[in-house]
Amino acid sequence: MFKPIGQKIIHLDEVDSTNNYAAILISEGKGEHGAVILADIQTAGRGQRGAEWQSKAGENLLMTLIIDTDNLSAMDQFVISEVTALSMVSFLRKIGISSMIKWPNDILVREKKIAGVLIENQLQGAYIGKSIIGIGLNVNQLSFNELNATSIRSELNQFTPVVDLLMSWIHSFNEEWAFYHSFGREKVEEKYLNCLFGWNCFVEMEDFNGRFFGSVDGIEKSGKLRVKKEGEFLQYDLKELRFIFQNRP
């Protein structure tokens, strides 16, 4: 059953990581479905694959959403990534920014990263109990050192108060989460593939054998990426493949 998110918002000045804060709330029995935690500053923000997530104080949207997945099978957990990535694409479209998804859930604008997602699912046997969905969206930051990143301000050339964007994203997430509950994973996947970098077109990639040109052919149920390379179908897990960009995001 679809249950909307965003009824409870916890705004912190500073925290180590909003994902850590969400995990603590859940462990104390206070992590209710739909709660969104946002922070102006994270002192130990975490990215995918153990990386750090750096963000200038007060300039970006750093938030974590807690959802109850209603006993979503662990085999279907990738749909949470898909819904989250789609909510970002749709939210950005509403404010006039066209974006793409880089598998599994980086959000790119003109091949530069504008948002990253770190999902931490709490497994209960074969099911997902709570899902902790952390999102870092670059809003007003203009310089990113050596990273190939962009922000809403860089794209629109205007300052936007960070909290002004929150309700709009919550609305987009609710739309995508409701769509999943109405139409199921396959339909979500169709939308996801349509926004996916490399879907049905030749792009340069690199695996453990080196660089090659191939196209993204689909997503396995497990969330692995299916790639077509010279008539052969290959599957990749995180870390096993990277896309080659002019400037690497």
Residues forming the site for ligand BTN (CB under 6 A): 17-19, 42, 45-48, 51, 53, 62-64, 106, 116-118, 134-136
The residue among 225 and 234 lying less far from ligand BTN, judged by its C-beta, is 225
| Three-state secondary structure readout of 56-87 | CCCCCEEEEEEEEEEEEEHHHCHHHHHHHHHH
Amino acid letter at 141? Q
The residue among 63 and 152 lying less far from ligand BTN, judged by its C-beta, is 63
Q: Which two tokens stand for residue 138?
A: 């670059």
Strands 100-102, 61-73: pairing is unpaired
Nearest distance from C-beta of residue 120 to ligand BTN, angstroms: 9
The residue among 38 and 234 lying less far from ligand BTN, judged by its C-beta, is 38
Nearest distance from C-beta of residue 136 to ligand BTN, angstroms: 3
The residue among 214 and 249 lying less far from ligand BTN, judged by its C-beta, is 249
Q: Which of 34, 45, 27 is nearest to 10 (CA)?
A: 34
Nearest distance from C-beta of residue 47 to ligand BTN, angstroms: 3
Strands 210-219, 127-137: pairing is unpaired
Task: Report how far apart the first and last C-alpha atoms of the chain are (Å, whole number).
Answer: 37
| C-alpha 227: how far from chain center | 21
The residue among 120 and 217 lying less far from ligand BTN, judged by its C-beta, is 120
Whole-number Å distance between alpha carbons of 235 and 215: 12
Alpha helix segments (H runs only) across the chain: 18-27, 78-94, 152-156, 162-183, 185-194
Strands 36-42, 9-15: pairing is parallel
The residue among 196 and 234 lying less far from ligand BTN, judged by its C-beta, is 196
Nearest distance from C-beta of residue 200 to ligand BTN, angstroms: 24
Q: Cβ(176)–Cβ(90) under 8 Å?
A: yes
Nearest distance from C-beta of residue 198 to ligand BTN, angstroms: 18
Q: Cβ(58)–Cβ(93) under 8 Å?
A: no
Nearest distance from C-beta of residue 53 to ligand BTN, angstroms: 4
Whole-number Å distance between alpha carbons of 229 and 35: 42
Count of beta carbons in the 10 Å neighbourhood of residue 66:
24
Nearest distance from C-beta of residue 12 to ligand BTN, angstroms: 11
The residue among 65 and 219 lying less far from ligand BTN, judged by its C-beta, is 65
